[in-house]
Structure 1
Amino acid sequence: MCTHETAPVRFDTKIAVLLRADLDAWQRLNVTAFLVSGLGTELPEVIGEAYADADGTAYLPMFRQPVLVFEGTKETLVSAHRRGLARALPQSVFTSDLFATGNDRDNRAAVRAVPGDQLDLVGLAVYGPRNAVDKVLKGARMHP
């Protein structure tokens, strides 16, 4: 018998990161970290409670649900970006230009300098209802 405390948790929403498949390992990690960093500030409902260990040491809260990481081709990213915008889902983007910048100001300027349909996307993060996010990610595969 499952109690409320032991019942599996299923979320109606999904946090997903889509990475271009040709990135180096360090780039994948860096892009993923940057892409998800803004979700909690703009969407506080994605953040769970703070953590504490048995000694009472406090730790920062984290996302309340898993972050699923996918990969795809450049074309897959372009299509996902377009579908996410069409569905008005919150998303963050990381372009190839950001590998050459070293701070937030220059990152924002690099993205602002390019029309949205011409961004050289290497990653994006999207949040929303499960079915909508699944449709945005059509053609992508789970990251190995």
Structure 2
Amino acid sequence: MTTDNATGSAPVRFDTKIAVLLRDDLETWQRLNVTAFLVSGLGTVIPEVIGEPYADADDTAYLPMFRQPVLVFEGSKETLTAAHAKALGRGLPVSVFTSDLFATGHDADNRAAVRAVGRDHLDLVGIAVHGPRNAVDKALKGARMHP
């Protein structure tokens, strides 16, 4: 739930959820990098998650951002694998980051690394999902909020 303090409007409860699930054995820099990569695709295929552009009091324009919070979770490799399967089974949009992507240098190599491995054999280190709150909650069951 989010409160718009600038306008004094009532708290907002979103019907959908954006969630990132990270493997719990990642280094701090990896967690940040993986999170950024995972959420970058959501706005391109789900435009309704993007809010309006920002501007400051001097009319300096800034890019729009997600219109709702991004919740970050962590879990074991097994939790991540199960969440991936559940999210796909529920038809939720999913982005993936595999351990192989830490060794690649650009987008074409990233896509090739994922393409080279079957869905059930991906060495996942993170996923991002978007969808109805209950569906996302069920897909991420067993994960815990990132500290």
Same fold (TM over 0.5): yes
* Alignment RMSD (CA, Å): 0.9
Aligned twin of 1:26: 29
* Counterpart check, 1:41 vs 2:44: yes
Displacement, 1:130? 0.1
Instruction: Select which of 72, 76, 80 maps to 1:73.
Output: 76
* Counterpart check, 1:101 vs 2:104: yes
Displacement, 1:23? 0.1
The one-letter code matched in structure 2 to 1:85 is: L
Map Cα deviations across residues 67-88 of structure 1 (whole Å, 9 max, x no partner).
Answer: 0000000000000000001001
Provide the identity percentage: 81
Q: In 1, Cα distance between the equivalents of 2:139 and 2:8?
A: 33
Q: In 2, Cα distance between the equivalents of 1:79 and 1:69?
A: 17
* Counterpart check, 1:61 vs 2:68: no
Which runs of at least 4 in structure 1 moved beyond 3 Å after TM superposition? none
The one-letter code matched in structure 2 to 1:94 is: F
TM-score, scaled relative to structure 2: 0.95
The one-letter code matched in structure 1 to 2:91 is: A
Q: In 2, Cα distance between the equivalents of 1:59 and 1:23?
A: 32
Unaligned regions of 5+ residues in structure 2, if any?
1-6
Q: In 2, Cα distance between the equivalents of 1:42 and 1:12?
A: 18
Instruction: Select which of 111, 119, 138 maps to 2:122.
Output: 119
Instruction: Select which of 48, 55, 58 maps to 1:52.
Output: 55
Aligned twin of 1:7: 10
